[in-house]
Amino acid sequence: MRETQVSIVIPVYNVETYLRQCLDSVLGQTFSNFEVLLVNDGSTDNSGVICQEYARLDSRFKYFEKENGGVSDARNSGLDLVQGDYVTFLDADDFLFEDHLEKLYIATTLSDADIMIGGYSRFDGSDFYFYKDHFKRDSLISFTSTQAIQFLDSMLDIQFLIFQQLVVNYLSEHYLRSYAFLWGDMQKISLSCGNYI
Domain segments of the chain as ranges: 6-188
Does the pLDDT of residue 178 top 60, yes or no?
no
pLDDT computed for residue 21 by the predictor: 95
**Mean local confidence (pLDDT), 181-186:** 44
CATH number given to 6-188: 3.90.550.10
Does the pLDDT of residue 179 top 60, yes or no?
no
| Torsion sign, CA atoms 175, 176, 179, 184 | positive
**Mean local confidence (pLDDT), 172-189:** 45
Q: Return the H-helix or E-strand segment holding 7.
A: strand 6-12
- The per-residue pLDDT for range 29-77, each reduced to its tens digit, is 999 999 999 999 999 999 999 999 999 999 999 999 999 999 999 999 9
**pTM, two decimal places:** 0.71
**Mean local confidence (pLDDT), 98-125:** 71
Give the largest Cα separation in the chain, rounded. Answer: 44
Does the pLDDT of residue 160 top 50, yes or no?
no
